[in-house]
Amino acid sequence: MRSLQAAQSWLPIKEGLVPLQLKSLTIWDSAVIAGLMLDHVQSQFAGGPPASVFRSLQNARYPDMQHAFAIVEDEQAVGFFILKERLALPVWASDGAITIHNFSIGQQFQGNGYGRHGLILATQWCAENRPRANYMELAVNLRNAAAIRLYMSVGYVDSGRRIEGPLGELEVLTYPLYRVRTPQ
């Protein structure tokens, strides 16, 4: 299995370009995302505050198949998400998929393109580090229009599948990884 390498992208900011990176988190890295705050509604859609979601990974049934990441700018975490694969996949996931969960950008960092670039980095990471994966998938609440627009802006498409979630109906979106892989 390949190592959990970091991915990097350059985020255009008014004054120039700022490097945005993914940082793979271990169970000892809770302080990295401790400052990420969400409003109440965002927290519900994201499955809870990032720090609480991160702590729940300590009790994961398949810890080696769930990977927490911080989206980092200049050593400051601006976002968080979890990737799940193989035995850790939810029942709604397609064969050959890696699923993205609990994607969130701290409230104080929203509106700066971090979500879009974080998703691009997650996609690049999966394409480079999980060569057997064919898709990235996620489930998003139909009432979370801003998140749906964000996911679709980076190339996720509606799979046509719907599932029931704790806050209502979820739409399953998919991203074919062949779009970002270089031909071999």
| Averaged pLDDT, 148-166 | 96
Which pLDDT belongs to residue 133?
Answer: 96
Domain range list for the chain: 8-179
Name the residue among 125, 148, 126 with its Cα closest to residue 135: 126
Cα–Cα distance list, 10 to 17, 53, 83, 94, 116 (Å):
6, 27, 22, 31, 12
**SS3 state of residue 49:** coil
Instruction: State the pTM of this model.
Output: 0.88
Q: 8-179, what's its fold?
A: Aminopeptidase (3.40.630)
pLDDT band at 14 (very low <50, low <70, confident <90, very high): very low
pLDDT digits (tens, 9 = 90+) for 73-107: 989 999 999 999 999 999 999 999 999 999 999 99
Which pLDDT score is estimated for 43?
Answer: 92
Q: What share of the chain in percent tops pLDDT 70?
A: 90
